[in-house]
C-alpha cells in the first residue's frame, strides 16, 4: 500500500514523505531495501602520520593555525596536529561561525579523504566535531551512506531506517522470505531479516573490506536476490519478445555485395560474421533486439549500414539515432558519401534545425519519401511519424535512457508489428557484464580491428611541462599533422567546460601564433560546429580545441595527436574513447595525457594502464575493477535498470547461478521479487 507506515515514523511528516517518494520509497519495505552505497568507518581513530592519500579516515588534533586566504578564490585554511604530524584542512565554502570554531589550541575530530596538494597532506571540507578535554565516543557501527535527493539528509534517512529496523525486529513489519528453501540451503544464505538488519547497521566486528568486496554473508544474500530479480526481468522480456511479430525481410544480399565492392578496404572477418547474424535475425518473424559491441575504430557503423541496406532493399524505412548533433551530422555526411551510388533518400533531423527544414523532413518521413533517417533524440518527438519503419539503429546506446529507446520502437509499431532493433556500443564490456546488463538482448562482438591500423603511442606528462608540449605540437603541425586538444571539466556543468575550452583556446593561440587554432564546444550553434568540423577535415584548422563532444564517432584520418587535459580525473574507458579520435589513418599517432602533480595511486594506476594497453576490452576490464559499471556506462539515464547493492564485476560468480535459479522460480514469486528490487516501471518487451 502506498506510503504504508512511513508517515508513522518519527520525524517523517508530509514533507519527509514527499522527499522519500522522490527516491522511490513508498512503504516501509521500500525503505528497508534502500541500501547503502558505501560505508564510512568512524569506529576507530587514525594517527595523522598514518593517513594515506585517496582514503577516508577519522583523525583528531589541536588547531595550530587558521587563516582566510585569497588565491584565485577566497578560502579558509586550517592546520591541526597530533603527536605524530600535522595536516591541512581546506574550506572553499565557510561562514563566520566556522571561522570562530577553529580557535588556536582547540581540539577537533575530523573525517574526510586525504589528498596531497604540492606534497602537503590536506583534507577538503572534512566533517568536524569540536570537543574539550573529554573525547567523544567512537561510533559503534560502520556508518552507512545512502543515495539521497534534494533536501533529504543522511542523518534523517539513517534515523528513518534505524526505526524501521527496530519495527522489523519486533515483527511490526511483515517481510516475506521470497527465496525458496532449497536455494537458501544450497548457498547457505542467512534469512532476509538478518541480512537487512546487518547491512544497515554492521557492528564493529564487521570487516569494512569484506562489506566492500561482498565477502560479508549478509551482503551476499542481498546481492544474489537482486541479481536474480534482474534475471527474472530478462526472462520475462525474452518470453514476451517471442510473442511479438516483426517485419520478416527477404535475404537480399545484392546491395550489401555492391557496397563491399565499392569500399577502398576489405571488411574484417569479424564484421562479416556479425553482419550475417544480423541478417539472419531480420529474416525471422519476431523482432531482432541485438547489441553489437566493438572497440573504438572496429567498424560498427559499416555493419549497421549493411543492416540498413538490407531493410531498405526490402522497401522499408530505417532510423539511425545518435546521441549528439555533431555525431549525427558526421554519420549523415559519411553515410551519404558511402551510398552515393545507391538510389537511397537520406535525411538528417536534429533539434537545432530551422523550423522550415524540420517541417519538410518530418513530412517526407511521414510520406515515406525518406529511406534512411539519421538524427538525434529529435527522432522521438511527438510530431515524427514513420510510414513503414522496419529497423532502428541506436548508436552509443549508453547515452540514451531505456524510455528513449522504447519511444522510438513504439513509433515503428504497425498493427502489432514491431521494428527490429540494432544497438551499437563502443564501450567495451566484458561478456559477464553484458549478460547481466543486457540479458534481454542478443549479443555480438566485433573483436577484430581493420588491417594496417597502427597502435597509438600514449604519453603522460605533468602540466608543468606545458611549454614542452607546445613545442611538440608546433613541430607536428608544421609537418602537416592535425591535433585535438580536449578540455574536460569533471563533475561540472557544460557552461564551465565550455569556459575551460575557450580559455585554453586563447592560451594556445598566444603560444602558437603560426598555427591555425580552432574551437568547438557544446554551446555553439550547430551551423558553427559543422563549419568548424568541415574546416578541420579540409585541413584549414591545424589544432582543434574541444570539449568532450568529440568523444565518439568523429573520423579525421589526418589527425595524429590528441592532448587530454585533467586526465588523472577521468575514467579509463572515456580516455580510451577520446584516444580513439586519432590513429584512423596510416600515420603513427600519439595521445598525450596531461595530469596535475600529486597523483594518487588510483590515478597513477589508471594512466599506466592506458599507456601500456591499446585494447579496449582489456582496458574496460581494468576500469570496471577500479570504478564499477555505473561509471563506465556513463551517467545514469532515466529508466535504466540500476543496481542497489550488486556490482556485476565483483559479483560475477553469481551470474550463472542466478540465471539457472530464474528458470525454477514460479511466476507469482517472480513478480514479488521484481517488485521488491526494481523500482522503475519496466514495460516488458520494449527495452
- Assign residue 111 the CATH number of its domain: 2.40.50.140
Residue 553 has pLDDT above 60, yes or no: no
Q: Are residues 24 and 147 in the same domain?
A: yes
Residue 324 has pLDDT above 90, yes or no: no
Q: Are residues 127 and 175 in the same domain?
A: no
Confidence band for 649, pLDDT divided at 50, 70 and 90: low
Q: Are residues 404 and 514 in the same domain?
A: no
Confidence band for 637, pLDDT divided at 50, 70 and 90: very low
Q: Are residues 221 and 95 in the same domain?
A: no
Q: Which of 192, 210, 238 represents a domain boundary (last residue)?
A: 238
Q: Are residues 490 and 398 in the same domain?
A: no
Q: Coil, strand, or helix at residue 477?
A: helix
Residue with the larger pLDDT of the pair 130 and 208: 130
Provide the 8-state DSSP code for 94.
-
70 close to 19: Cβ distance less than 8 angstroms: no
C-alpha cell, 210:
569484506
Query: Which residue range(s) make up the domain with 567?
Result: 457-613
Q: Which of 194, 212, 238 represents a domain boundary (last residue)?
A: 238
State residue 363's pLDDT score.
Answer: 95
Q: b/e map of 27-38 (b: 16 or more CB within 10 Å)?
A: bbbbbbbbbbee
Q: Give the domain CATH number at 353.
A: 3.40.50.300
Residue with the larger pLDDT of the pair 565 and 685: 565
C-alpha cell, 412:
515503428
State residue 399's pLDDT score.
Answer: 46
Query: Is 265 within a domain?
Result: yes
State residue 630's pLDDT score.
Answer: 45
Q: Which of 224-228, 245-249, 370-374 has the lowest mean pLDDT?
A: 245-249
Integer Cα distance of 102 and 475 in angstroms: 53
Confidence band for 4, pLDDT divided at 50, 70 and 90: low
State residue 518's pLDDT score.
Answer: 92
Query: Is 479 within a domain?
Result: yes
Residue 413 has pLDDT above 80, yes or no: no
In order, the DSSP letters of 13-59 are HHHHHHHHHHTT--BHHHHHT---SEEE--SS---GGG--TTSEEEE
Residue 509 has pLDDT above 50, yes or no: yes
For the segment 522-526, the average pLDDT, to the nearest whole number, is 81
Looking at mean pLDDT, say which of 240-249, 360-369, 460-469, 482-491 comes out highest: 360-369
Residue 148 backbone phi and psi in degrees, to 5 = -125, 175
Q: Are residues 260 and 342 in the same domain?
A: yes
Integer Cα distance of 138 and 45 in angstroms: 8
Q: Are residues 484 and 536 in the same domain?
A: yes
Residue 678 has pLDDT above 60, yes or no: yes
Q: Are residues 150 and 274 in the same domain?
A: no
Integer Cα distance of 352 and 526 in angstroms: 7
Residue 453 has pLDDT above 80, yes or no: no
Neighbours of 681 (CB within 10 A): 7
For the segment 354-370, the average pLDDT, to the nearest whole number, is 93
Integer Cα distance of 53 and 117 in angstroms: 10
Confidence band for 305, pLDDT divided at 50, 70 and 90: very high
Residue with the larger pLDDT of the pair 435 and 100: 100
Determine the straight-line distance between the first and last CA of the chain, rounded to whole angstroms. Answer: 27
State residue 496's pLDDT score.
Answer: 64
Q: Are residues 339 and 429 in the same domain?
A: yes
Tens digits of per-residue pLDDT, 599-632?
A: 777 788 888 888 888 887 777 777 766 655 544 3
Query: Average pLDDT of the chain?
Result: 85
Which of 149, 220, 157 has its CA nearest to residue 189?
220
Q: Which of 8-22, 46-60, 128-142, 205-219 has the lowest mean pLDDT?
A: 205-219
Instruction: Note if the pTM is more than 0.85.
Output: no
Query: How many structural domains is the chain composed of?
Result: 4
Residue 203 has pLDDT above 50, yes or no: yes
Q: Which of 105-114, 258-267, 313-322, 377-386 has the lowest mean pLDDT?
A: 377-386
Amino acid at each position: 500500500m502506498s506510503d504504508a507506515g512511513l508517515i508513522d515514523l518519527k520525524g517523517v511528516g508530509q514533507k519527509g514523505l514527499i522527499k522519500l517518494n522522490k527516491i522511490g520509497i513508498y512503504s516501509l519495505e521500500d525503505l528497508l531495501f534502500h541500501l547503502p552505497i558505501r560505508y564510512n568507518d568512524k569506529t576507530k581513530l587514525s594517527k595523522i602520520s598514518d593517513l594515506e592519500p585517496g582514503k577516508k579516515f577519522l583523525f583528531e588534533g589541536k588547531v595550530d593555525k587558521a587563516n582566510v586566504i585569497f588565491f584565485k578564490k577566497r578560502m579558509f585554511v586550517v592546520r591541526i596536529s597530533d603527536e605524530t604530524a600535522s595536516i591541512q584542512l581546506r574550506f572553499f565554502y565557510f561562514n563566520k561561525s566556522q571561522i570562530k570554531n577553529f580557535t588556536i589550541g582547540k581540539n577537533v575530530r575530523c573525517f574526510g579523504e586525504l589528498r596531497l596538494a604540492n606534497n602537503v597532506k590536506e583534507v577538503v571540507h572534512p566533517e568536524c566535531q569540536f570537543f574539550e578535554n573529554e573525547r567523544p565516543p567512537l561510533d559503534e557501527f560502520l556508518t552507512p551512506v545512502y543515495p539521497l535527493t534534494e533536501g533529504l539528509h543522511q542523518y534523517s534517512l539513517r534515523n528513518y531506517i534505524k526505526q524501521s529496523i527496530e519495527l522489523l525486529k519486533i515483527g511490526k513489519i511483515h517481510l516475506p522470505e521470497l527465496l525458496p528453501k532449497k536455494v537458501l540451503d544450497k548457498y547457505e544464505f542467512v534469512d532476509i531479516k538478518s541480512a537487512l538488519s546487518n547491512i544497515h547497521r554492521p557492528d564493529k566486528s564487521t570487516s569494512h573490506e569484506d562489506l566492500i568486496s561482498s565477502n560479508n554473508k549478509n551482503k551476499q544474500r542481498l546481492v544474489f536476490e537482486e541479481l536474480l530479480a534482474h534475471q527474472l526481468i530478462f526472462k520475462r522480456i525474452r518470453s514476451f519478445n517471442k510473442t511479438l511479430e516483426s517485419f520478416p525481410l527477404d535475404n537480399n544480399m545484392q546491395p550489401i555485395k555492391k557496397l563491399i565492392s565499392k569500399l577502398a578496404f576489405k571488411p574484417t572477418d569479424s564484421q562479416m560474421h556479425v553482419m550475417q547474424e544480423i541478417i539472419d535475425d531480420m529474416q525471422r518473424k519476431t523482432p531482432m533486439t541485438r547489441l553489437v559491441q566493438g572497440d573504438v575504430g572496429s567498424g560498427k557503423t559499416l555493419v549497421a549500414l549493411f543492416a540498413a541496406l538490407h531493410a531498405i532493399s526490402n522497401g522499408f524505412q530505417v532510423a539511425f539515432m545518435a546521441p549528439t548533433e555533431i555525431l549525427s551530422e558526421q554519420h549523415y555526411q559519411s553515410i551519404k558519401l558511402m551510398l552515393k551510388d545507391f538510389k537511397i533518400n537520406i535525411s538528417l533531423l536534429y533539434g537545432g534545425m530551422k523550423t522550415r527544414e524540420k517541417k519538410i523532413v518530418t513530412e517526407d518521413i511521414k510520406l515515406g519519401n525518406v529511406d534512411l533517417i539519421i538524427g538525434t533524440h529529435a527522432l522521438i518527438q511527438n510530431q515524427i511519424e514513420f510510414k513503414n519503419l522496419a529497423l532502428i539503429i541506436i548508436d552509443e546506446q549508453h547515452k540514451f535512457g531505456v524510455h528513449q529507446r522504447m519511444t522510438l520502437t513504439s513509433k515503428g509499431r504497425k498493427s502489432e508489428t514491431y521494428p527490429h532493433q540494432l544497438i551499437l556500443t563502443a564501450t567495451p564490456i566484458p561478456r559477464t557484464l553484458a549478460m547481466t546488463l543486457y540479458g534481454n538482448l542478443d549479443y555480438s562482438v566485433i573483436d577484430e580491428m581493420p588491417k594496417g591500423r597502427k597502435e597509438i603511442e600514449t604519453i603522460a606528462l605533468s602540466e608543468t611541462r606545458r611549454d614542452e608540449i607546445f613545442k611538440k605540437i608546433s613541430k607536428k603541425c608544421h609537418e602537416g599533422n592535425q591535433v585535438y586538444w580536449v578540455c574536460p571539466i569533471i563533475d561540472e556543468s557544460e557552461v564551465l567546460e565550455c569556459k575551460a575550452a575557450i580559455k585554453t583556446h586563447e592560451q594556445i593561440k598566444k603560444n602558437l601564433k603560426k598555427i591555425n587554432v580552432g574551437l568547438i564546444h557544446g554551446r555553439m550553434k550547430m551551423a558553427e560546429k559543422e563549419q568548424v568540423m568541415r574546416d578541420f577535415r579540409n585541413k584549414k584548422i591545424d589544432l582543434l580545441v574541444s570539449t568532450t563532444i568529440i568523444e565518439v564517432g568523429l573520423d579525421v584520418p589526418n589527425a595524429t595527436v590528441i592532448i587530454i587535459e585533467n586526465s588523472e580525473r577521468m575514467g579509463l574507458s572515456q580516455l580510451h574513447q577520446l584516444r580513439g579520435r586519432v590513429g584512423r589513418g596510416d600515420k603513427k599517432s600519439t595521445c598525450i595525457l596531461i595530469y596535475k602533480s600529486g597523483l594518487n595511486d588510483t590515478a597513477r594506476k589508471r594512466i599506466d594502464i592506458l599507456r601500456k594497453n591499446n585494447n579496449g576490452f582489456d582496458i574496460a576490464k581494468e576500469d570496471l575493477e577500479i570504478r564499477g559499471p555505473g561509471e563506465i556506462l556513463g551517467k545514469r539515464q532515466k529508466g535504466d535498470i540500476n543496481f542497489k547493492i550488486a556490482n556485476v564485476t565483483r559479483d560475477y560468480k553469481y551470474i550463472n547461478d542466478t540465471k539457472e535459479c530464474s528458470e525454477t522460480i514460479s511466476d507469482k514469486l517472480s513478480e514479488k521479487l521484481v517488485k521488491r528490487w526494481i523500482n522503475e516501471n519496466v514495460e516488458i518487451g520494449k527495452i
